[in-house]
Structure 1
Amino acid sequence: MTLAAIEAVLFDKDGTLFDFAETWNAFAARLILRLADGDDLRRHGLARALMFDLEAGSFLPGSPVIAGTNREVAELIAPILPERGIEELESLIIAEAADAPLSEAVALVPYLAGLAARGLSLGVMTNDSESVARAHLRAAGIEGMFDFVAGADSGHGAKPSPRPLLAFATATGHAPDRVIMVGDSLHDLAAGRAAGMWTAGVLTGMADADTLAPMADVVLPDIGHLPDWLSGRGT
Protein backbone atom coordinates (compact mmCIF):
# COMPACT_ATOMS: atom_id res chain seq x y z
CA MET A 1 0.00 0.00 0.00
CA THR A 2 1.34 3.46 -0.90
CA LEU A 3 1.49 6.67 1.13
CA ALA A 4 -1.43 8.00 -0.90
CA ALA A 5 -3.66 5.49 0.89
CA ILE A 6 -3.13 7.15 4.30
CA GLU A 7 -6.40 8.66 5.48
CA ALA A 8 -5.74 9.51 9.13
CA VAL A 9 -2.95 10.74 11.39
CA LEU A 10 -2.72 9.86 15.08
CA PHE A 11 -0.28 11.97 17.08
CA ASP A 12 1.41 11.42 20.39
CA LYS A 13 1.33 14.63 22.45
CA ASP A 14 4.51 15.21 24.43
CA GLY A 15 7.65 15.23 22.32
CA THR A 16 5.51 15.24 19.18
CA LEU A 17 2.96 18.07 19.12
CA PHE A 18 4.94 19.77 21.88
CA ASP A 19 8.72 19.74 22.28
CA PHE A 20 9.44 17.42 25.19
CA ALA A 21 12.43 19.13 26.79
CA GLU A 22 11.02 22.65 26.48
CA THR A 23 7.73 21.58 28.03
CA TRP A 24 8.59 18.95 30.63
CA ASN A 25 12.00 19.80 32.09
CA ALA A 26 10.60 22.90 33.80
CA PHE A 27 7.58 20.91 35.00
CA ALA A 28 9.79 18.19 36.54
CA ALA A 29 12.07 20.67 38.27
CA ARG A 30 9.03 22.41 39.77
CA LEU A 31 7.40 19.13 40.83
CA ILE A 32 10.58 17.86 42.53
CA LEU A 33 11.00 21.15 44.39
CA ARG A 34 7.40 21.09 45.59
CA LEU A 35 7.46 17.45 46.72
CA ALA A 36 10.86 17.72 48.43
CA ASP A 37 9.54 20.60 50.56
CA GLY A 38 13.00 21.82 51.48
CA ASP A 39 14.47 18.36 52.18
CA ASP A 40 17.63 18.01 50.08
CA LEU A 41 17.81 14.24 50.52
CA ARG A 42 14.29 13.89 49.19
CA ARG A 43 15.05 16.24 46.32
CA HIS A 44 17.94 14.06 45.19
CA GLY A 45 15.94 10.87 45.80
CA LEU A 46 13.09 12.11 43.66
CA ALA A 47 15.50 13.14 40.91
CA ARG A 48 17.10 9.67 40.91
CA ALA A 49 13.71 7.95 40.76
CA LEU A 50 12.63 10.11 37.82
CA MET A 51 16.07 10.01 36.15
CA PHE A 52 16.19 13.79 36.16
CA ASP A 53 19.55 15.60 36.16
CA LEU A 54 19.18 18.35 38.75
CA GLU A 55 22.34 20.15 37.67
CA ALA A 56 21.42 20.19 33.98
CA GLY A 57 17.74 20.66 34.71
CA SER A 58 16.72 17.94 32.26
CA PHE A 59 15.53 14.36 32.01
CA LEU A 60 18.06 11.68 31.16
CA PRO A 61 17.27 9.89 27.86
CA GLY A 62 16.35 6.63 29.60
CA SER A 63 13.90 8.16 32.06
CA PRO A 64 10.73 6.07 32.45
CA VAL A 65 8.80 9.34 32.74
CA ILE A 66 9.27 10.09 29.03
CA ALA A 67 6.73 7.55 27.82
CA GLY A 68 5.13 6.64 31.14
CA THR A 69 1.69 7.33 32.55
CA ASN A 70 1.00 9.63 35.49
CA ARG A 71 0.18 6.55 37.53
CA GLU A 72 3.56 5.02 36.72
CA VAL A 73 5.30 8.26 37.72
CA ALA A 74 3.40 8.26 41.03
CA GLU A 75 4.48 4.68 41.66
CA LEU A 76 8.11 5.61 40.97
CA ILE A 77 8.22 8.32 43.61
CA ALA A 78 5.88 6.76 46.20
CA PRO A 79 8.70 4.98 48.12
CA ILE A 80 10.40 8.35 48.70
CA LEU A 81 7.18 9.91 50.00
CA PRO A 82 5.64 7.18 52.18
CA GLU A 83 3.32 9.63 53.91
CA ARG A 84 1.52 10.23 50.61
CA GLY A 85 -0.54 7.57 48.87
CA ILE A 86 -0.17 6.74 45.19
CA GLU A 87 -3.64 8.13 44.43
CA GLU A 88 -2.75 11.44 46.08
CA LEU A 89 0.54 11.64 44.20
CA GLU A 90 -1.13 10.84 40.88
CA SER A 91 -3.71 13.58 41.45
CA LEU A 92 -0.99 16.06 42.34
CA ILE A 93 1.03 15.17 39.23
CA ILE A 94 -2.05 15.59 37.02
CA ALA A 95 -2.79 18.99 38.54
CA GLU A 96 0.80 20.15 38.05
CA ALA A 97 1.00 18.75 34.52
CA ALA A 98 -2.08 20.65 33.40
CA ASP A 99 -0.13 23.88 33.93
CA ALA A 100 3.11 22.75 32.26
CA PRO A 101 4.65 25.44 30.02
CA LEU A 102 3.86 24.37 26.45
CA SER A 103 6.30 24.72 23.56
CA GLU A 104 4.78 23.82 20.18
CA ALA A 105 6.98 21.72 17.92
CA VAL A 106 5.61 23.77 14.99
CA ALA A 107 2.87 26.42 14.76
CA LEU A 108 0.06 23.95 15.38
CA VAL A 109 -3.09 25.80 14.26
CA PRO A 110 -2.03 26.32 10.61
CA TYR A 111 -0.25 22.98 10.54
CA LEU A 112 -3.30 20.98 11.63
CA ALA A 113 -5.58 23.04 9.40
CA GLY A 114 -3.37 22.07 6.47
CA LEU A 115 -3.65 18.37 7.28
CA ALA A 116 -7.42 18.62 7.70
CA ALA A 117 -7.66 20.40 4.34
CA ARG A 118 -6.14 17.29 2.77
CA GLY A 119 -9.10 15.30 4.10
CA LEU A 120 -7.12 13.56 6.85
CA SER A 121 -8.78 12.55 10.12
CA LEU A 122 -6.70 13.67 13.10
CA GLY A 123 -6.31 12.29 16.60
CA VAL A 124 -4.18 12.38 19.73
CA MET A 125 -3.28 9.42 21.89
CA THR A 126 -1.03 10.12 24.84
CA ASN A 127 0.08 8.22 27.92
CA ASP A 128 -0.71 11.39 29.84
CA SER A 129 -4.17 11.70 31.40
CA GLU A 130 -6.97 12.70 29.04
CA SER A 131 -7.88 15.70 31.20
CA VAL A 132 -4.30 17.01 30.98
CA ALA A 133 -4.18 16.31 27.24
CA ARG A 134 -7.37 18.27 26.67
CA ALA A 135 -6.13 21.12 28.87
CA HIS A 136 -2.95 21.35 26.80
CA LEU A 137 -4.76 21.14 23.47
CA ARG A 138 -7.25 23.75 24.65
CA ALA A 139 -4.45 26.07 25.78
CA ALA A 140 -2.87 25.76 22.33
CA GLY A 141 -6.23 26.48 20.66
CA ILE A 142 -6.36 23.13 18.88
CA GLU A 143 -8.63 20.83 20.90
CA GLY A 144 -11.47 21.15 18.40
CA MET A 145 -9.22 20.26 15.48
CA PHE A 146 -9.04 16.60 16.50
CA ASP A 147 -11.61 13.89 15.82
CA PHE A 148 -10.34 11.78 18.73
CA VAL A 149 -8.43 12.50 21.95
CA ALA A 150 -7.45 9.76 24.39
CA GLY A 151 -5.17 9.40 27.37
CA ALA A 152 -3.95 6.40 29.30
CA ASP A 153 -7.03 6.69 31.53
CA SER A 154 -9.62 6.88 28.72
CA GLY A 155 -10.51 3.20 28.88
CA HIS A 156 -8.41 1.90 25.98
CA GLY A 157 -5.16 1.27 27.83
CA ALA A 158 -1.76 2.87 27.30
CA LYS A 159 0.98 2.57 24.70
CA PRO A 160 2.78 0.35 23.74
CA SER A 161 -0.53 -1.53 23.65
CA PRO A 162 -2.17 -1.15 20.23
CA ARG A 163 -5.66 -0.95 21.77
CA PRO A 164 -5.92 2.86 22.04
CA LEU A 165 -4.64 3.21 18.48
CA LEU A 166 -7.21 0.75 17.20
CA ALA A 167 -9.87 2.69 19.14
CA PHE A 168 -8.92 5.73 17.05
CA ALA A 169 -9.21 3.74 13.83
CA THR A 170 -12.63 2.46 14.86
CA ALA A 171 -13.86 5.86 16.01
CA THR A 172 -12.87 7.53 12.75
CA GLY A 173 -13.85 4.66 10.46
CA HIS A 174 -10.44 3.97 8.94
CA ALA A 175 -8.69 0.64 8.48
CA PRO A 176 -5.51 0.53 10.60
CA ASP A 177 -3.29 0.23 7.51
CA ARG A 178 -4.64 3.60 6.36
CA VAL A 179 -3.54 5.34 9.59
CA ILE A 180 -0.10 6.67 10.49
CA MET A 181 1.03 6.86 14.12
CA VAL A 182 3.40 9.77 14.75
CA GLY A 183 5.48 9.83 17.91
CA ASP A 184 8.81 10.48 19.55
CA SER A 185 9.29 7.25 21.50
CA LEU A 186 9.54 3.53 20.90
CA HIS A 187 6.30 3.15 22.87
CA ASP A 188 4.52 5.15 20.16
CA LEU A 189 6.08 3.29 17.27
CA ALA A 190 5.76 -0.18 18.81
CA ALA A 191 2.07 0.49 19.39
CA GLY A 192 1.69 1.62 15.80
CA ARG A 193 3.41 -1.47 14.43
CA ALA A 194 1.33 -3.75 16.65
CA ALA A 195 -1.83 -2.02 15.40
CA GLY A 196 -0.83 -2.58 11.77
CA MET A 197 -0.38 1.13 11.12
CA TRP A 198 2.26 3.19 9.37
CA THR A 199 4.74 4.76 11.83
CA ALA A 200 6.66 8.03 11.78
CA GLY A 201 9.24 8.95 14.40
CA VAL A 202 10.05 12.57 15.24
CA LEU A 203 13.12 14.00 16.97
CA THR A 204 11.41 16.54 19.24
CA GLY A 205 11.49 14.11 22.14
CA MET A 206 14.40 12.44 23.93
CA ALA A 207 15.10 9.56 21.52
CA ASP A 208 17.54 9.85 18.63
CA ALA A 209 17.09 8.68 15.07
CA ASP A 210 19.07 5.48 15.55
CA THR A 211 16.78 4.47 18.42
CA LEU A 212 13.57 5.13 16.50
CA ALA A 213 14.57 3.93 13.03
CA PRO A 214 14.04 0.17 13.54
CA MET A 215 10.34 0.72 14.35
CA ALA A 216 9.63 3.60 11.97
CA ASP A 217 8.72 3.87 8.31
CA VAL A 218 10.39 7.27 8.46
CA VAL A 219 12.18 9.42 11.05
CA LEU A 220 11.60 13.17 10.67
CA PRO A 221 13.12 16.18 12.44
CA ASP A 222 9.63 17.25 13.56
CA ILE A 223 5.99 16.91 12.54
CA GLY A 224 6.34 19.83 10.16
CA HIS A 225 8.09 17.52 7.69
CA LEU A 226 5.20 15.04 7.60
CA PRO A 227 3.08 16.66 4.84
CA ASP A 228 5.96 16.59 2.34
CA TRP A 229 6.71 12.97 3.22
CA LEU A 230 3.07 12.02 2.74
CA SER A 231 3.21 13.70 -0.65
CA GLY A 232 6.30 11.71 -1.59
CA ARG A 233 8.59 14.74 -1.44
CA GLY A 234 10.31 14.01 1.86
CA THR A 235 13.05 11.62 2.91
Structure 2
Amino acid sequence: MIDGVIFDKDGTLFDFRASWGAWAGKAVAILASESGVPTAVLGAAIGYHPETGQFDPDSVVIAGTSDQIAAALAAALPGVDVDALEDRLNRMAAGAPMLPAVDLPHVLGALRARGLRIGLATNDVEVAARAHLEAHGIDGLFDFIAGQDSGHGAKPGPGMCSAFARQQGLDPARVAMVGDSLHDLHAGRAAGMRAVAVLTGIAGADDLAPHADVVLPDIGHLGAWIDGQRAGG
Protein backbone atom coordinates (compact mmCIF):
# COMPACT_ATOMS: atom_id res chain seq x y z
CA MET A 1 0.00 0.00 0.00
CA ILE A 2 1.07 3.56 -0.71
CA ASP A 3 -0.45 6.35 1.41
CA GLY A 4 1.79 9.25 0.43
CA VAL A 5 4.12 10.47 -2.28
CA ILE A 6 6.96 12.95 -1.90
CA PHE A 7 8.34 14.41 -5.11
CA ASP A 8 11.61 15.93 -6.13
CA LYS A 9 11.01 19.12 -8.14
CA ASP A 10 13.56 19.65 -10.88
CA GLY A 11 13.68 16.80 -13.37
CA THR A 12 10.60 15.24 -11.80
CA LEU A 13 7.74 17.73 -11.78
CA PHE A 14 9.55 19.90 -14.31
CA ASP A 15 11.61 18.80 -17.29
CA PHE A 16 15.20 19.46 -16.24
CA ARG A 17 16.88 20.30 -19.53
CA ALA A 18 14.09 22.56 -20.79
CA SER A 19 13.76 24.40 -17.48
CA TRP A 20 17.24 24.74 -16.05
CA GLY A 21 19.13 24.93 -19.32
CA ALA A 22 17.64 28.39 -19.91
CA TRP A 23 18.47 29.48 -16.34
CA ALA A 24 22.06 28.25 -16.55
CA GLY A 25 22.56 29.87 -19.94
CA LYS A 26 21.31 33.22 -18.68
CA ALA A 27 23.30 33.08 -15.44
CA VAL A 28 26.54 32.16 -17.21
CA ALA A 29 26.05 34.85 -19.86
CA ILE A 30 25.40 37.60 -17.29
CA LEU A 31 28.35 36.63 -15.10
CA ALA A 32 30.64 36.33 -18.12
CA SER A 33 29.64 39.79 -19.33
CA GLU A 34 30.27 41.34 -15.92
CA SER A 35 33.52 39.56 -15.13
CA GLY A 36 35.17 38.98 -18.48
CA VAL A 37 35.50 35.28 -17.66
CA PRO A 38 34.52 33.25 -20.75
CA THR A 39 31.14 31.54 -20.71
CA ALA A 40 32.84 28.23 -21.46
CA VAL A 41 34.90 28.54 -18.26
CA LEU A 42 31.89 29.40 -16.12
CA GLY A 43 29.85 26.66 -17.73
CA ALA A 44 32.56 24.10 -17.07
CA ALA A 45 32.57 25.11 -13.40
CA ILE A 46 28.99 23.86 -13.04
CA GLY A 47 29.01 21.09 -15.65
CA TYR A 48 27.03 23.04 -18.25
CA HIS A 49 27.80 23.56 -21.95
CA PRO A 50 26.56 26.99 -23.13
CA GLU A 51 27.02 26.12 -26.79
CA THR A 52 24.63 23.15 -26.64
CA GLY A 53 22.56 23.89 -23.53
CA GLN A 54 23.40 20.43 -22.17
CA PHE A 55 24.50 19.37 -18.68
CA ASP A 56 27.11 16.83 -17.67
CA PRO A 57 25.61 13.86 -15.77
CA ASP A 58 27.49 14.94 -12.64
CA SER A 59 26.66 18.66 -12.94
CA VAL A 60 26.29 20.36 -9.57
CA VAL A 61 23.12 21.99 -10.92
CA ILE A 62 21.35 18.63 -11.14
CA ALA A 63 21.32 17.62 -7.50
CA GLY A 64 23.44 20.19 -5.70
CA THR A 65 22.27 22.91 -3.35
CA SER A 66 22.38 26.62 -4.13
CA ASP A 67 25.44 27.17 -1.95
CA GLN A 68 27.28 24.40 -3.80
CA ILE A 69 26.40 25.92 -7.18
CA ALA A 70 27.50 29.36 -6.01
CA ALA A 71 30.77 27.96 -4.64
CA ALA A 72 31.49 26.20 -7.94
CA LEU A 73 30.94 29.40 -9.91
CA ALA A 74 32.84 31.53 -7.40
CA ALA A 75 35.90 29.34 -7.89
CA ALA A 76 36.03 30.66 -11.46
CA LEU A 77 35.29 34.26 -10.41
CA PRO A 78 38.18 35.56 -8.30
CA GLY A 79 37.15 37.98 -5.60
CA VAL A 80 33.41 37.35 -5.79
CA ASP A 81 31.47 37.07 -2.52
CA VAL A 82 30.00 33.56 -2.42
CA ASP A 83 27.06 34.44 -0.19
CA ALA A 84 26.10 37.40 -2.35
CA LEU A 85 26.40 35.26 -5.47
CA GLU A 86 24.21 32.57 -3.94
CA ASP A 87 21.56 35.14 -3.05
CA ARG A 88 21.63 36.49 -6.59
CA LEU A 89 21.37 33.00 -8.14
CA ASN A 90 18.43 32.19 -5.87
CA ARG A 91 16.59 35.31 -7.00
CA MET A 92 17.21 34.35 -10.61
CA ALA A 93 16.06 30.78 -9.90
CA ALA A 94 12.77 31.95 -8.38
CA GLY A 95 11.91 33.62 -11.67
CA ALA A 96 13.21 30.85 -13.93
CA PRO A 97 10.56 29.55 -16.36
CA MET A 98 9.76 25.95 -15.49
CA LEU A 99 8.44 23.59 -18.17
CA PRO A 100 6.18 20.91 -16.64
CA ALA A 101 7.14 17.33 -17.42
CA VAL A 102 3.41 16.40 -17.58
CA ASP A 103 0.02 18.02 -17.02
CA LEU A 104 0.72 18.68 -13.36
CA PRO A 105 -2.75 19.80 -12.19
CA HIS A 106 -4.28 16.68 -13.77
CA VAL A 107 -1.65 14.21 -12.53
CA LEU A 108 -1.36 15.60 -9.01
CA GLY A 109 -5.12 16.05 -8.74
CA ALA A 110 -5.63 12.40 -9.68
CA LEU A 111 -3.18 11.33 -6.98
CA ARG A 112 -5.00 13.40 -4.38
CA ALA A 113 -8.29 11.88 -5.54
CA ARG A 114 -6.80 8.53 -4.55
CA GLY A 115 -6.51 9.85 -0.99
CA LEU A 116 -2.74 10.26 -1.11
CA ARG A 117 -0.83 12.87 0.86
CA ILE A 118 1.61 14.78 -1.36
CA GLY A 119 4.91 16.41 -0.48
CA LEU A 120 7.86 18.12 -2.13
CA ALA A 121 11.53 17.73 -1.21
CA THR A 122 13.96 19.80 -3.27
CA ASN A 123 17.57 20.86 -2.97
CA ASP A 124 16.43 24.22 -4.30
CA VAL A 125 15.62 26.86 -1.66
CA GLU A 126 12.05 26.83 -0.38
CA VAL A 127 11.10 30.31 -1.62
CA ALA A 128 12.08 29.40 -5.19
CA ALA A 129 10.26 26.07 -4.95
CA ARG A 130 7.08 27.74 -3.79
CA ALA A 131 7.37 30.34 -6.54
CA HIS A 132 7.64 27.62 -9.17
CA LEU A 133 4.64 25.71 -7.81
CA GLU A 134 2.55 28.86 -7.49
CA ALA A 135 3.41 29.92 -11.05
CA HIS A 136 1.75 26.72 -12.27
CA GLY A 137 -1.17 26.88 -9.85
CA ILE A 138 -0.29 23.64 -8.07
CA ASP A 139 1.00 24.82 -4.68
CA GLY A 140 -2.38 24.06 -3.09
CA LEU A 141 -2.07 20.40 -4.09
CA PHE A 142 0.86 19.88 -1.71
CA ASP A 143 0.54 19.02 1.97
CA PHE A 144 4.26 19.59 2.59
CA ILE A 145 6.89 21.70 0.82
CA ALA A 146 10.53 21.74 1.87
CA GLY A 147 13.74 23.07 0.38
CA GLN A 148 17.33 22.56 1.44
CA ASP A 149 17.02 25.62 3.70
CA SER A 150 13.79 24.53 5.46
CA GLY A 151 15.56 23.01 8.44
CA HIS A 152 15.53 19.33 7.43
CA GLY A 153 18.85 19.16 5.59
CA ALA A 154 19.47 18.44 1.91
CA LYS A 155 19.26 15.27 -0.16
CA PRO A 156 20.68 12.63 -0.22
CA GLY A 157 20.06 12.94 3.50
CA PRO A 158 16.65 11.64 4.62
CA GLY A 159 15.59 14.73 6.59
CA MET A 160 12.98 16.20 4.23
CA CYS A 161 11.45 12.80 3.48
CA SER A 162 11.32 11.86 7.15
CA ALA A 163 9.77 15.22 8.07
CA PHE A 164 7.01 14.70 5.48
CA ALA A 165 6.12 11.27 6.87
CA ARG A 166 6.25 12.53 10.45
CA GLN A 167 4.17 15.65 9.86
CA GLN A 168 1.55 13.78 7.86
CA GLY A 169 1.39 10.82 10.25
CA LEU A 170 2.51 8.35 7.61
CA ASP A 171 4.44 5.10 7.89
CA PRO A 172 7.57 5.71 5.77
CA ALA A 173 7.29 2.18 4.38
CA ARG A 174 3.97 3.25 2.83
CA VAL A 175 5.40 6.37 1.18
CA ALA A 176 7.04 6.65 -2.24
CA MET A 177 9.88 9.07 -2.91
CA VAL A 178 9.80 10.01 -6.60
CA GLY A 179 12.80 11.58 -8.29
CA ASP A 180 15.11 11.69 -11.27
CA SER A 181 18.50 11.42 -9.54
CA LEU A 182 20.40 9.10 -7.26
CA HIS A 183 20.26 11.80 -4.57
CA ASP A 184 16.46 11.47 -4.60
CA LEU A 185 16.43 7.69 -4.51
CA HIS A 186 19.06 7.52 -1.77
CA ALA A 187 17.15 10.08 0.31
CA GLY A 188 13.98 8.01 0.05
CA ARG A 189 15.75 4.76 0.90
CA ALA A 190 17.47 6.37 3.89
CA ALA A 191 14.04 7.46 5.17
CA GLY A 192 12.69 3.90 4.80
CA MET A 193 10.52 4.73 1.78
CA ARG A 194 9.86 3.15 -1.60
CA ALA A 195 12.01 4.64 -4.36
CA VAL A 196 10.50 5.54 -7.74
CA ALA A 197 12.70 6.86 -10.54
CA VAL A 198 11.54 8.93 -13.51
CA LEU A 199 13.36 9.72 -16.75
CA THR A 200 12.59 13.44 -17.09
CA GLY A 201 15.98 14.45 -15.73
CA ILE A 202 19.52 13.78 -16.90
CA ALA A 203 20.15 10.26 -15.53
CA GLY A 204 19.23 7.24 -17.62
CA ALA A 205 17.37 4.08 -16.69
CA ASP A 206 20.58 2.05 -16.42
CA ASP A 207 21.89 4.44 -13.76
CA LEU A 208 18.67 4.61 -11.77
CA ALA A 209 17.23 1.09 -11.96
CA PRO A 210 19.62 -0.56 -9.45
CA HIS A 211 18.48 1.94 -6.81
CA ALA A 212 14.74 2.05 -7.52
CA ASP A 213 11.68 -0.14 -7.03
CA VAL A 214 10.53 0.95 -10.47
CA VAL A 215 11.65 3.28 -13.28
CA LEU A 216 8.85 5.21 -15.01
CA PRO A 217 9.00 7.44 -18.10
CA ASP A 218 7.46 10.32 -16.10
CA ILE A 219 5.14 10.92 -13.16
CA GLY A 220 2.12 10.53 -15.40
CA HIS A 221 2.63 6.78 -15.00
CA LEU A 222 2.77 6.94 -11.20
CA GLY A 223 -0.95 6.54 -10.53
CA ALA A 224 -1.15 3.24 -12.39
CA TRP A 225 1.90 1.93 -10.53
CA ILE A 226 0.39 2.89 -7.19
CA ASP A 227 -2.90 1.24 -8.15
CA GLY A 228 -0.95 -1.92 -8.90
CA GLN A 229 0.77 -1.80 -5.51
CA ARG A 230 -2.56 -1.35 -3.77
CA ALA A 231 -3.95 -4.31 -5.69
CA GLY A 232 -0.98 -6.39 -4.62
CA GLY A 233 0.63 -6.34 -8.06
Task: Please list the CA deviations of residues 52-83 of structure 1 after superposition, one character each: whole Å capped at 9, or x if unmatched.
Answer: 11221221222121000111101111122233
Distance 2:158 2:184 in 1: 9
Aligned to 2:226: 230
Distance 2:15 2:58 in 1: 17
* TM-score calculated relative to the size of structure 2: 0.95
- What SS does the corresponding residue of 1:109 show, helix, strand or coil? helix
| Aligned structure 1 segments of 4 or more residues deviating by more than 3 angstroms | 38-42
* TM-score calculated relative to the size of structure 1: 0.95
Task: Please list the CA deviations of residues 23-47 of structure 1 after superposition, one character each: whole Å capped at 9, or x if unmatched.
Answer: 0001000000011116564322211
1:218 is displaced (CA, Å) by 0.2
Counterpart among 91, 113, 123 of residue 95 in structure 1: 91
- What SS does the corresponding residue of 2:61 show, helix, strand or coil? coil
Q: Structure 2 counterpart of 1:120, which letter?
A: L
Q: Structure 1 counterpart of 2:168, which letter?
A: T
Distance 1:41 1:14 in 2: 28
Aligned to 1:194: 190
Q: What is the number of residues matched between the two proteins? A: 230
Aligned to 2:138: 142
Q: Structure 1 counterpart of 2:224, which letter?
A: D
1:64-79 alignment, distance < 5 Å: 64-79=60-75
Q: Percent same amino acid at aligned positions?
A: 53
- What SS does the corresponding residue of 1:232 show, helix, strand or coil? helix
- What SS does the corresponding residue of 1:80 show, helix, strand or coil? coil
Counterpart among 116, 121, 127 of residue 120 in structure 1: 116
Aligned to 2:102: 106
Distance 2:41 2:15 in 1: 26
Distance 1:89 1:40 in 2: 16
Task: Please list the CA deviations of residues 79-112 of structure 1 after superposition, one character each: whole Å capped at 9, or x if unmatched.
Answer: 2223321110110110111111111111111111
- Structure 1 residues without counterparts, runs of 5 or longer: none
Asked whether the 8 Å contact 1:42–1:80 carries over to 2, the reply is: no
